Amino acid sequence: MSVEVISRLHQHRMWVMGNLLQACELLTEEQLKQPFEIGQGTVWKSLTHMHGAEYVWLEALRGNPKGLCPGDLAGKLTGNQEGENPIRSIGELCERCSALDEEWTRYLETLTEEKLLETIHRQSIQGLMGTTARDVLLHVCTHAHFTSAQVINMLRRLGVSPLPDSMLITMARQVL
């Protein structure tokens, strides 16, 4: 049962990110990089932060505790200020998120109750930290949900209407 719930939460996470990206494709470069005192400071940095976090946690789940996200322009996640192969446009970010969603889907298809209890290691500023796969998988979803709310708040302040939907119930009704 846990695997099913976690997979559903990840399906929701990917759906919300898709909705956010679709709304952000209509923004100007100036709007994407307008400063806000929430989230990572801009819509762009918040979106790339979410992508980077999802990338490095999937790497950790696959056994790479020091994985770095290519193109992390925000620099906060990896400490890599310019990154290798930086993401330069919302279109490119959409492509990378889509490819990453496919990788997540493949990983989630292999998930078992036993794998949820495995210890996953991730390098942090405190050193190599261990956490169960279950908690990492839940963290990725709650982190995305929290950051998505911040992006939606920024979009509201930019006058975007309608705002992208982020409710699981809406996704569930669309799937029926």
Query: What is the chain's mean pLDDT, rounded?
Result: 91
Place of tokens 């049962």: 1
Residue of 116, 113, 108 lying closest to 132 (CA atoms)? 116
Predicted TM-score of the model (pTM):
0.90
**Residue ranges of the domains in the chain?**
2-175
Q: Please determine, for residue 74, whether its predicted confidence score (pLDDT) is greater than 80.
A: no
**Do 57 and 136 meet the contact criterion of CB atoms below 8 Å apart?**
yes
Distance of CA 44 to the CA centre of its chain: 13
Place of tokens 């959409």: 94
Return the percentage of the chain with pLDDT > 90, whole number. Answer: 81
Structure-token pair, residue 12: 């929701």
User: What is the reported pLDDT for 72?
Assistant: 55
Which of these ranges, 17-21, 108-112, 127-131, has the smallest mean pLDDT? Answer: 127-131
To the nearest 10 degrees (0 to 180), the angle between helices 2-24 and 133-157 is 30
Question: 15-65 pLDDT, tens per residue?
Answer: 999 999 999 999 999 999 999 999 999 999 999 999 999 999 999 999 999
User: What is the reported pLDDT for 68?
Assistant: 82
Q: Please determine, for residue 78, whether its predicted confidence score (pLDDT) is greater than 50.
A: no
User: What is the reported pLDDT for 35?
Assistant: 98
At residue 124, what are phi and psi to the nearest 5 degrees? -135, 180
Gap between the terminal Cα atoms of the chain: 21
User: What is the reported pLDDT for 83?
Assistant: 54
Q: Please determine, for residue 80, whether its predicted confidence score (pLDDT) is greater than 60.
A: no
Pick the CATH number of 2-175 from 3.40.50.12780, 1.10.3720.10, 3.30.365.10, 1.20.120.450: 1.20.120.450
